[in-house]
Chain A
Amino acid sequence: MDQLLQHLLNGLLLGATYSLLGIGLTLVFGLMNVVNFAHGEFYTFGAYAAFAALALASVNFFLAIPLAIVAGALAGAVCERVLLRPLRGQSIDTVMLVMIGLWIAMQNAELLGWGGVAKSVPTPFPTQPVVVGPVSVAPLRIFVFVVSGLLILGAHLLLSRTKLGRAMRATFQDRETAALMGVSIERIHTITFAFGAGLAAAAGALLGPVFLLYPSMGDLASLKAFSVVILGGLGNFGGAAAGGLVLGIAEELGAGYISSGYRDAVGFLMIVAVLLLRPSGLFARAERVG
């Protein structure tokens, strides 16, 4: 029983970052109709940006994370302007292949820049776990969970309460009508992609200190993000938030009770099962953002 509680807690902590990853991906898909295979690379980018700020520029830990998010969002904005804007109106497959190209290029650029040796990020948190009743948890994990939750809440508020959010939702529902109402579609696209990249970078900056940094870390992150998005239904914000938690908990239980070697298979199998049985996602009403 205690063991089960521990697994559930670990799953929840891990799942929050998966949600963060999935939300960025699902927004970009829902709004721009772009299947962003480079999503995990923005995760890697965020992780290394935080590392660079911390270890090389010796910035404060709590400042390095927002810096990494901003850097990720900027990188995303540049990618949108340079690669995606000229391809607007092209088939979704062409854009998908371009994103695959970006993924390979970014990953190997990271590899050239940072080398293949894994790096660890120093944190100000004590490694001594906090014990609460039958379960224990590292303080860093709590911090990561809280910040992830706040970012998801912030993203939700931005989409549902602000003028920009309303413009984004309008674009999602009907691009032409939104444009007629004076929404600058070009601007919304750049902002959406930057937003998605920023959320991925946030997940990277937060999880980087928990795990190790290596240039191909984004592959697994992409995979998790896609699993989450599929679970929640493509383009479904709430679905992605819930899907992340479901995936995190399922992985922890799978690794704990079945086999740790097949931990990453949980995500694969969930994708397969959901796509075959319920392709619009577990939490589908209609596909929508916000």
Chain B
Amino acid sequence: MSRLTLVIGGAIVLTAPAWVWNPYHLHTLIMAGIFAVLALSLNLLLGYTGQLSLGHAAFFGIGAYASALLSVKLEWSPWIGLLAAIVLPGLAGYIIGRLALKLRGAYFVLLTISFAGCVSLVSVNWMDLTNGPLGIPGVPPVEIALPGLPALSLRTKSAYYYLVLAAVVLAYLLCLALIRSRVGRALVALRENETLAASVGIDATHYLVLAAVASAAMAGFAGGLYAHYTRFVSPEVFLFTYTITMVIMVVAGGKGTLAGPVVGAVLFTVLPEALREFTSYQWQMLLYGVLLIAVLFFMPEGVVPALRAAGPALRRRWKAS
């Protein structure tokens, strides 16, 4: 990507709240940001370790509940809630990673589904803590209180947009640092050939658990952001639809690339909203399913790698003509 497109793209993203005057469109962008963090987190596992987690909604949900419960029941600052939304899912990711990453392939997938199913049932049945299916209303908004300045509430959509944008950038940079480090190289080595990687001294469980913890913590953080944005948390945060949406975003965007999940997240939040006027939710989900199949059939690497491959070819043709 040239520097010019980067600057223009950055300017468009940074000034969005100024010219996206329709609050519903801004809401869509905020959700796209939250999903981008989720997709980046799933991509760490699916894209770089090759392990498909179908339990990622659990980490998202744990993050949302942790942040909501701490700030509603204990009335702690939402910032501590957001911190807990990183730490607790990270811890859960560690435990699940330790247990599940002894397994591979279908076994791993089933274990993650089971984990998510259990957590979801707990959220419905543990009435004293979670208020059951009724959920937790009145989650406070995030406030920035710097000493000497009046507290700045991120209650408005345009303010929250920047918080989410910062989260996306942070998640992206974290993934970038991780992938470019020794850890990232170890993960890719394990994905490509585990036996070979192990033979040169790469401790599979160690690195995979590390990836699981980072991934779970990021998904949890997205959950915390979601809780303080919608101001309401219910067992719906554990819906399998969330996991499916993340998977589609990663696979369609391009798993194992850093831009892929972000592009996928924006595409699959904006596209359904754009189609909303013409279609119902069922048609949209039906389309998701068909699209997932179509991508795997015709563009198995995803949109971003396909564009990357098509870019130079197009430029050459343009120059030739």
Residues of A that sit less than 8 Å from B by CB:
29, 35, 83, 86-87, 92-94, 96-98, 100-109, 111-112, 219, 223, 226, 230, 234, 259, 261-262, 264-265, 267-269, 271-272, 275-276, 279
| Interfacial chain B residues near A272, Cβ < 8 Å | 99, 111, 114-115, 118
C-alpha spacing A100/B52, complex, angstroms: 12
B2 to chain A, nearest CB (A): 34
Docked-complex contact A96 and B109, CB < 8 angstroms: yes
Docked-complex contact A268 and B290, CB < 8 angstroms: no
Flag B119-156 by CB within 8 Å of A: 1 or 0 each. 00100110000000000000000000000000000000
Docked-complex contact B293 and A268, CB < 8 angstroms: no
Docked-complex contact A101 and B106, CB < 8 angstroms: no
Q: Does B305 contact A (CB under 8 A)?
A: no
A-B CB pair tally, cutoff 8 Å: 107
Docked-complex contact B296 and A97, CB < 8 angstroms: yes
B151 to chain A, nearest CB (A): 41
| Interfacial chain B residues near A35, Cβ < 8 Å | 106, 109
6 extra interchain contacts, Cβ-Cβ under 8 A, other than A96-B106, A97-B292, A276-B102?
Answer: A29-B106, A92-B106, A100-B247, A105-B293, A272-B99, A272-B114
A106 to chain B, nearest CB (A): 7
Docked-complex contact A101 and B286, CB < 8 angstroms: no
| Interfacial chain A residues near B114, Cβ < 8 Å | 267-269, 271-272
C-alpha spacing A265/B117, complex, angstroms: 7
C-alpha spacing A79/B124, complex, angstroms: 36
The binding surface of chain B is classed by DSSP as: helix
Docked-complex contact B289 and A279, CB < 8 angstroms: no
Docked-complex contact B50 and A101, CB < 8 angstroms: no
Contact A101 to B121, CB < 8 A, known contacts A92-B106, A271-B111, A272-B114: no
C-alpha spacing A168/B292, complex, angstroms: 31
A29, A105, A276: which contacts B289 (Cβ < 8 A)? Answer: A105
| Interfacial chain B residues near A107, Cβ < 8 Å | 285, 289
| Interfacial chain A residues near B193, Cβ < 8 Å | none
C-alpha spacing A264/B121, complex, angstroms: 8
Docked-complex contact A101 and B300, CB < 8 angstroms: no
B217 to chain A, nearest CB (A): 22
Flag B263-297 by CB within 8 Å of A: 1 or 0 each. 00000000000000000101101101111110011
A78 to chain B, nearest CB (A): 14
| Interfacial chain A residues near B292, Cβ < 8 Å | 97-98, 100-101, 104
Q: Does B76 contact A (CB under 8 A)?
A: no
Docked-complex contact A103 and B289, CB < 8 angstroms: yes
Q: Does B244 contact A (CB under 8 A)?
A: yes
B103, B286, B289, B300: which contacts A94 (Cβ < 8 A)? Answer: B300
Docked-complex contact A265 and B300, CB < 8 angstroms: no
C-alpha spacing A96/B50, complex, angstroms: 13
Docked-complex contact A275 and B110, CB < 8 angstroms: yes
Docked-complex contact A92 and B296, CB < 8 angstroms: no
Docked-complex contact B117 and A268, CB < 8 angstroms: yes
C-alpha spacing A260/B167, complex, angstroms: 40
A4 to chain B, nearest CB (A): 24
Contact A269 to B118, CB < 8 A, known contacts A96-B52, A104-B244: yes
C-alpha spacing A96/B104, complex, angstroms: 13
B118, B240, B296: which contacts A98 (Cβ < 8 A)? Answer: B296
B160 to chain A, nearest CB (A): 30
B109, B118, B285: which contacts A104 (Cβ < 8 A)? Answer: B285
B99, B124, B285: which contacts A261 (Cβ < 8 A)? Answer: B124
B66 to chain A, nearest CB (A): 21
| Interfacial chain A residues near B118, Cβ < 8 Å | 265, 268-269, 272
Docked-complex contact B240 and A83, CB < 8 angstroms: no
Docked-complex contact B296 and A101, CB < 8 angstroms: yes
A234 to chain B, nearest CB (A): 7
| Interfacial chain B residues near A112, Cβ < 8 Å | 280, 282-283, 286
